[in-house]
Structure 1
C-alpha cells in the first residue's frame, strides 16, 4: 500500500516538519508491529502555493498513491481544497485525509463541505497516524483495475474500509448510512435540498474524540532519513518542546497548555547533526522557547560551544522572562549565531488584558536595548493590528514604542481569527468583522474601522520596504528628525506613494532610492533660504549614497548621484596608493589598484570627504560593507600634483 504525505508550503525556502515527523514515527511503529515496506510505503511530496495546480495534480497522479494525507494551514487550505476535488476525479478510489491546525477544530464542517475528503486527523498527529497506518495495513483497501472503478452501491461495501477506525482516537470520518437509515430521511424532493444537506442525509460523521498528548521523546529524529542535500537551500524547522504556558486569545497554541520538553540528550544529538551538515538556518518552532530556563540555557550553551561558524539558530522567546544569567550567556554569542523573535503585539495594557497576554513592556524595552548594545543578535519584534480595545491612536503609540526599541525587523501583522481560538468566541463582543476566506484577516473592530486597517496596510508595506529590508538605515535616521514620530514618517511615505500611484508596482532597489529623492525634492527640505535647503539636500544625498553602497558595489548610479568623472584622477590615485601602502585596506595585500577598485568603492560626500566601502570585510550581523571616512583626498591629490610640478 502506498501512502503519500503531501505538503503545500508558502515558499520554496520553507520545509514541512509535520510530514517528516509523521513519516519517521509511522515507520518506527510499523516496524515494531512487524510491518515492512512491502506492506506500507510512505512517500513525501513537497510543493508550494506558487506551483500550478495542474502540475501538482499530474505529479500526484503519476505516483499512484492509495492514500494521500495533506498538511493544512491557513496559507494553503484553499489550494488543498481545490486539489482534493480534482484528485477524486482522476483517482476516484484514493482515500484522502486532512490534518493540521486549519482542520483540527472544524473537522465535521470540513467533511460536510469537501466530499472528496474522507477523514480528518485532529491535533497532534504522530500517534494517530501510526495507528491509522496499522489499520490500513491490516485492512488493505481493494484497488480497482487500472483505468476504471467497479461501481458498488451497497452502503455496507462503501463503509468496509472505515470499520475499526472508531477505535482510533483523534479521527473524524464520514460513514454512509445504511439503507434503513436512508429510508428514514425526510420525504423531500432532492432538488429542494442544499448540497450539504443532501450529503448529511446520506452520511453520519464519526468523531473518535481527543487523543492525549504524547511524550516527545518517543518521536524519532525527523531528519535522520532525509537527504540533507535536498534541503541545502531551505529553512530547517525543529522543535524541542510542544505546548505553551500562556493563554493568548488569538493563538491556537494556548489551547494546549501542557508544555512538554524533548530530552536535552536527544536535542543536543540532533543539533549536532545540523551543525555537522552546516545547514544555513535552524528555526525552532517552540512557541515560547525560554519558558523553562534550564532547558533554554542548556541549548544556548551547547550552540555556543559547538558553533560551526555557519549555522544560524532562530528562537521565539518571551523577552521579559530573560534574567541576568541568560543575558550574560547570550552576550557571548558569535555575531549572527542566533536571532530572537519577540512577540510584543501591543503596548496597551487594556489590550493585553483583553487578549489574556501577560507582558512586561518595560522589561522588554530594557532587554531589547541591552541586546542591541552587544551588536551580535538579530532581534525581530512583532505587533498585531486589530486586537480588542486598540484604536488607531493606541496602535500608533504601540508602533512608536516598539520602533524606538530599534529591532532589526518590526513585523506589523494583522489579527487572524482562527477556528478554535478564544478570539473566535470574542467576535460578537468585539464587533469583529473578518475575511470569510483564509487567512481570516480582520476587516474592522469596535475600535478600528476598515479605513484604519487600510492605512495600516500601507504603513506595513512602507515598513517592509524601507525598514525591514535594512537597506535604508542611514537615510531613515535622517528622515526621523523631520517628523513628530516614526509612525508619521511612514505615513508620509505611504501618502507620497499613493499620490504618485506607486503602490502595486514592482520597483527595483535603485528605484526605491529615486522615490525617496523625489519625495525630498517635492515635500522636504524646502527652506526659503536656498543655501540652507541645498545643504540639507546634500546631506540627504549623502545618506542615500551611503545606504546604496553599504550593501553592494553597484555599477548603475542613481540620477541624483554626484558625477564620479569629476573625481576620476583622485580616486585612481587613492587606489594606486593603497596598492603600496595598504593604509585603509590593510588586508588586501597582493592586489593591484584595478583589483582594489573592484573590491572597494570610494564615494565623494558633500563636505569634501570620501567614504570608503570595503566589501571584503562585512558586518556579520547586517552584512553591510565596512565603511571608513577619509579626508579630502581631492585637496591632498591637488597638493601632491602641485609639489610634483615644482620639482
Structure 2
C-alpha cells in the first residue's frame, strides 16, 4: 500500500517541513518495529510537493500516475482552495483512493469539513507525527475504523462524525531529522524546527493555543545545524514561533553557529526583540555580517491595541534594542505591522507605521489581519465589528475603527512600501525623498495616490519603469528638485548593477569619455580602488567589470561590483576625489 503525503506550497522556493517530519517519524517506527505493527501488509510513504501556481490538472495527473492508495494533503489558508479542488476531482479518476487532510486550516472545524466533503476519509488534527503513525498501523493491519485514534476526526462504521481529543504534545527529540540529503532542496529555503509552542497569547495567532513550549535536545540541534553548515546551505529558516523565549536555548544555538560559521549560510529567526539582554546583544554584535537575519513582530505601537491582542511588548525596550541591532551593521532586520487590529484606526496605524519606519528596518512588512479559525480574534469578531472575507485567507475587510475604504488606502501604501522600500532598489533616493514629507507614511500615501490617479496600480512594471514612474512623481510633487532626484536614482541604479542601457533621465557622460578611459588605464596598473580580483585585467576589461559615473559634472563615483554589502548586496561605491585634477 502507498500513502502519498502532498503539499501545495505558495512558491517554488518554499518546502513543507510538516510532510517531511511525518514521513521521517513513521519510517523510523516502521524500521524499529517491522513485524508487530506493520507485519500484515507492507506500506510505503511517498512525498509530493507542488505549488499553487501549478496547473491543477498537472497535479492531478502526477498523483494519478503515482497510483497511491491514500493521499494526505497539508492544509493552510494559502492553499486550501486548491486542495479542495483536488479533493473533489481525485475520486473521479482514482475511485478507490482514500483522502486525508491535516494542518491548521482543517484542525479547528474538522466536523464541518467532513460534512461538506464526503470524499474525505479523515482529518488529522494538531501535531500529526504520532497520529499519522497510528493511521498507518491500522491500514497495515487491514482495518478502516479510525474512530479510536486521538487526534483524528472521521466517520465511524455507522457514518457518524467522531471528533477525538488532540494528542498530548510531542517530545521534540523523538522526531527524526527530516533531511537525509539536500538534493531536493537546491534553490529552495530549508526550514528547521528547534522548538514548538509559544509562551505568548496573541489573539490573532494559532500558536497561542499551544503554550507547552518544548525544545529539541541541544545535542541533536547542534548536530543538525552542522549538517547544514557542512553542506553550505544558503539559508536555514527557523520556524520556531518565538525563537528567543528561552535565553539558554538561544545562546547555545547562536554561539554554535558563530563558532562554526562557514561564511555562507544565513539563519533566519523570528524573535521578540524586547526580550534580548546585554549578553545576547554582545554576541550578536560580533557575528559575521549576514550570518543571521531577524524578523520582529511589532504589529502596532498603539498601547490599547497591544493590550487588546494580548501581546506583552515593552515598546521602549523594543525600540532601544532595534536601534542597537541596526548600529551593529551586520544583521538584516525585518519589522512587521498588522493592519486591522482592534482599536487601530487609520490615524493610529499611520502613527504605528511612522514609529516603526523610524526604527530603520531593512524591511518593513505591512500585513493585513487574517481571522484564523480557532483564534481568539475570530471568537470576538462581533465585539470588534470585525468583518472579513468568507474565503481564504479570511482577510479583514473592516472593523469598528477602520472601514473598507481606509483599508484600500493602506493596501496602496503596502504596495509602495514593497516597491520603493523593501526592494532595496531605491535606498539613496528614498532616504532623501522621505525628508520632503512631514512623515514617512505621508510619502508612501502620496505615492499610492499617484499610482491610482495615473492608472498605474495593478500593472506589472519593470524595474526601470518603476524609476521612470518615480521620476514623474517627483516632477509633479517636487518640481524644483527633479534634477537632484534623477541623479539619486541613477546612483541607486548603478549600486545594484552595471547597466547595459542607461535610463532616459540619466545625464550625458560623453564629455567625460576620455577621462574615464584614462582613469581605468591607470587603475589597471595601480589598483588604487579596484583590487582583490581585478588584477591581470586590462583597462577595457575593467570598464566592463566596474562603472564610473560623473554626477552634475563635478562628482565622479566608482561602483565596484566585486565588493558588495553582504546585507543589501549593493556595490561598493567610491568618490574619486582627484578625477578632475
Same fold per superposition (TM over 0.5): yes
What is residue 223 of structure 1 aligned with on the other side? 179
8 Å CA contact 1:609–1:632 kept in 2: the answer is no
Q: CA deviation at 1:176?
A: 5.6
Aligned pair partner of 2:48 in 42, 45, 49: 45
How is 1:323-334 mapped onto 2 (pairs within 5 angstroms)? 323-334=277-288
What is residue 77 of structure 1 aligned with on the other side? 80
What is residue 377 of structure 1 aligned with on the other side? 331
Measured against aligned partners, the alpha-carbon deviations of 1:533-562 in whole angstroms (never above 9, x if no partner) come to 3xx333212211111000100111111101
What is residue 169 of structure 1 aligned with on the other side? 150
What is residue 123 of structure 1 aligned with on the other side? 126
Secondary structure of 1:429 counterpart: coil
Secondary structure of 2:162 counterpart: strand
Q: CA deviation at 1:566?
A: 2.3
Secondary structure of 2:367 counterpart: strand
What is residue 24 of structure 1 aligned with on the other side? 24
Q: CA deviation at 1:613?
A: 0.2
Aligned pair partner of 2:541 in 589, 595, 600: 595
What is residue 572 of structure 1 aligned with on the other side? 517
The answer on 1:541 being equivalent to 2:486 is yes
Aligned partners of 2:346 and 2:482: how far apart in 1?
33
Aligned partners of 1:28 and 1:57: how far apart in 2?
29
The answer on 1:242 being equivalent to 2:187 is no
Runs of 4+ aligned residues of structure 1 deviating over 3 Å after TM superposition are 35-38
RMSD of aligned residue pairs (Cα, Å): 1.2
Aligned partners of 1:537 and 1:524: how far apart in 2?
7
Secondary structure of 2:160 counterpart: strand
8 Å CA contact 2:189–2:236 kept in 1: the answer is yes
What is residue 618 of structure 1 aligned with on the other side? 564
Secondary structure of 1:626 counterpart: strand
8 Å CA contact 1:122–1:172 kept in 2: the answer is yes
TM-score using structure 1 length: 0.88
Q: CA deviation at 1:210?
A: 1.7
Gaps of 5+ in 1: 141-160, 178-202, 526-532, 637-647
What is residue 310 of structure 2 aligned with on the other side? 356
User: How many residues get paired?
Assistant: 577
Aligned partners of 1:484 and 1:632: how far apart in 2?
38
Q: CA deviation at 1:105?
A: 0.5
8 Å CA contact 1:608–1:631 kept in 2: the answer is no
Aligned partners of 2:352 and 2:523: how far apart in 1?
49
How is 1:268-307 mapped onto 2 (pairs within 5 angstroms)? 268-307=222-261
Aligned pair partner of 1:476 in 410, 414, 430: 430
The answer on 1:108 being equivalent to 2:108 is no
Q: CA deviation at 1:607?
A: 5.5
Secondary structure of 1:26 counterpart: helix
What is residue 554 of structure 2 aligned with on the other side? 608
Question: Which one has a bigger Cα radius of gyration?
Answer: 1
How is 1:358-507 mapped onto 2 (pairs within 5 angstroms)? 358-507=312-461
Aligned partners of 1:252 and 1:343: how far apart in 2?
15
What is residue 553 of structure 1 aligned with on the other side? 498
Q: CA deviation at 1:314?
A: 0.3
What is residue 531 of structure 2 aligned with on the other side? 586
What is residue 210 of structure 1 aligned with on the other side? 166
8 Å CA contact 2:147–2:156 kept in 1: the answer is no
How is 1:57-206 mapped onto 2 (pairs within 5 angstroms)? 57-139=60-142, 161-162=144-145, 165-175=146-156, 177=158, 203-206=159-162
8 Å CA contact 1:538–1:606 kept in 2: the answer is no
Q: CA deviation at 1:477?
A: 1.0
Aligned partners of 1:446 and 1:114: how far apart in 2?
35
Q: CA deviation at 1:632?
A: 6.1
Q: CA deviation at 1:31?
A: 2.3
8 Å CA contact 1:608–1:632 kept in 2: the answer is no
Secondary structure of 2:382 counterpart: helix
Measured against aligned partners, the alpha-carbon deviations of 1:414-473 in whole angstroms (never above 9, x if no partner) come to 000000000011101000000000000000000000000000000000000000001101
Aligned partners of 1:517 and 1:111: how far apart in 2?
55
Gaps of 5+ in 2: none
8 Å CA contact 2:202–2:311 kept in 1: the answer is yes
8 Å CA contact 1:351–1:387 kept in 2: the answer is yes
The answer on 1:5 being equivalent to 2:1 is no
Q: 554-563 or 15-24: which moved more?
A: 554-563
Measured against aligned partners, the alpha-carbon deviations of 1:246-268 in whole angstroms (never above 9, x if no partner) come to 00000000000000000100000
Secondary structure of 1:166 counterpart: coil
8 Å CA contact 1:290–1:321 kept in 2: the answer is yes
Aligned partners of 1:93 and 1:489: how far apart in 2?
59
Aligned partners of 2:482 and 2:58: how far apart in 1?
53
Measured against aligned partners, the alpha-carbon deviations of 1:70-97 in whole angstroms (never above 9, x if no partner) come to 0000000000000010001111111100
Secondary structure of 1:42 counterpart: strand
Secondary structure of 1:314 counterpart: strand
Secondary structure of 2:343 counterpart: coil
TM-score using structure 2 length: 0.98
